[in-house]
Structure 1
Amino acid sequence: MFRLPSGMHLPTAVNRFATRALIAPLLAPTLPVPVRRRGLDLVGASVPLPRGTRRARGELGGVPTEVVAPSVPFGPHRVLYLHGGGYLVGSAASHRPLLAGLAHATGTPVHAPEYRLAPEHPFPAGLEDALAAWHALRAAGHPAERIAVAGDSAGGGLTMALLLRLRADGEDLPGSVGLVSPWLDLGCTADAMTRNAASDAMLDPSWLPSAAADYAPGGVVAPELRPLDADLSGLPPLHVVAGSDEILVDDADTLVERARAAGGTVEYQRVEGMWHAFPTLAGLLAEADDVLGHLGAALRADCVR
């Protein structure tokens, strides 16, 4: 498969065109789910990783997990990353360029559990796997305040669900949180769903309601499914990334506004002209690498004090 040399970026317009032509169809409801999953994995495998990146397969709490790490001395911190994909598709393989970029930016291993996906495994299966992975890192001797949890799109929603469940259970919370284009409103009611439908190169708004129904069938109600309605006080520092042109930007805007109103520490990178989950194009898109560099430094700073 063709690969660009490591460190070579494509122009933003080319990335936008390629995203719309190659990735967006794999996130639309027109193809069978297994085909979409395989296609996204192949796209992720086509992007060169930064020099010195190491990968290993293992498990966390019984959940298959890929660990992506830089070949530099590790700090005392770790990153738990929950991939996106509408709770139906996506994997560590599809997100490997992002995982590698974040590993180099944080200077430590990034653990990406392959949590169970809908429609085969609806809520709360994915949350249970995220909890199992978190508890396994803790059991391995990593203090909660030394672990950053991050995720993109549905993985951002799952990250917030994990935070809310840990807090409800009286457990220690992570030292830092990263949210990239988080999907937080399963009702898909935000204005940006229509306002940015034409400008978002990645995500078709027609897919999200059906994905939400597969993930939470039969009108399942749980506080972890409604993070925008939750009490957002007392959470770890939140580092939020979104593109101005994406259909989920209102989810990020609302979270930032409400978390700040609740007294939280929130940093927001709202990048003009960018589409949904653009940091998944790490290694190809300069804006993706810039954002991941800043996000990784922020997560590291929170967890290593």
Structure 2
Amino acid sequence: MYLFKPFKVKDMEQRNRVVMPPMCMYSADTDGIATDFHFTHYTSRAVGGVGLIIMEATGVVPWGRISDHCLGLWNDAQAQAIAPIVTACRKQGAKIAIQLNHAGRKCEAQEKTIYAPSAIPFDKDSPMPREMTEEDIHDVVNAFQSAAKRAADVGFDAIEIHGAHGYLISEFLSPLTNRRTDGYGGSTENRCRILIEVLQAVRRVWPEEKPILLRVSAEDYEPEGMHPQEMAKIIELVKPYIDVLDVSTGGVVPTPPTAIYPGYQVKVAEELKGSTGIPTITVGLIMEPHQVEEILGQESADLVALGRELLRDPYWVLHTAREMDVEYLWPEQYVRGFDARK
């Protein structure tokens, strides 16, 4: 089966093609420090056979968190709390990455000021963000770099920059949310400038042998917004700095997808994989093994992320191997459970 084939990018080789995408658990303390729940949550999926675990959106500054209970990585205490999770997941055979994020205008943490490329609220009930100065932008770039350095020191196998779902970088990329008239707005190149600066800064502190992932929203579901053709142009600009493209859609504005069905985002991932030549992750209501096999077999994507399905079943990979009669190694501590059934 395709899903059980290893996948290698740079020096990171994961044992299969299944990815746990970053999903906020809203379970950190208000200081952004990981709790016992995070340890159990992530290590369960490592024991369960997931190839690559991407830790949830982690704020690079306090006012960059999605909520007061999201993880942070702006100080050493936060890094120390995450370190045992990384070590334990790797011991169980999984590779583990962390997604670094700034929430921009979608910050719901109790902060006095929220920031965005332009002073445009998310919707009529959302607070008005402050338009960022160039100094603010430089501070954010430095914050991403500092968080990436901590992630490297902790021992993550990969790092993902969150450029999707209407958070800060995504807000800069989309013409719906970026109305700036300086060097960070207007043309595709200018709207992409902060992303390039973040990736360059991360590259300077991230180990060369480890991959950098970029998550993007390739479709805004609005006529004047982001579309796959425009996203392909952006990917060409950042191509020297990334190794894997994690493709999603939506979130920049409240407009929902035009249709939601199993695998509804696969086509966009396939389009960007074909136009950029970069390995891709696809996601979006993928639940059944036959879906994963079809996606991988048709080379629509290189890796498949299962979100809600892995929340429901941390052992999805192992259960799938058993159901499909595929020889796959369970943790040795559990093997006697199978012997007893024979």
Please confirm whether the aligned pair reaches a TM-score higher than 0.5, indicating the same fold.
no
Per the normalisation by structure 2, the TM-score is 0.34
- Largest Rg, 1 or 2: 2
Q: Which has the higher contact order (CA 8 A, sep 6+)?
A: 1
Q: TM-score, normalised by structure 1?
A: 0.38
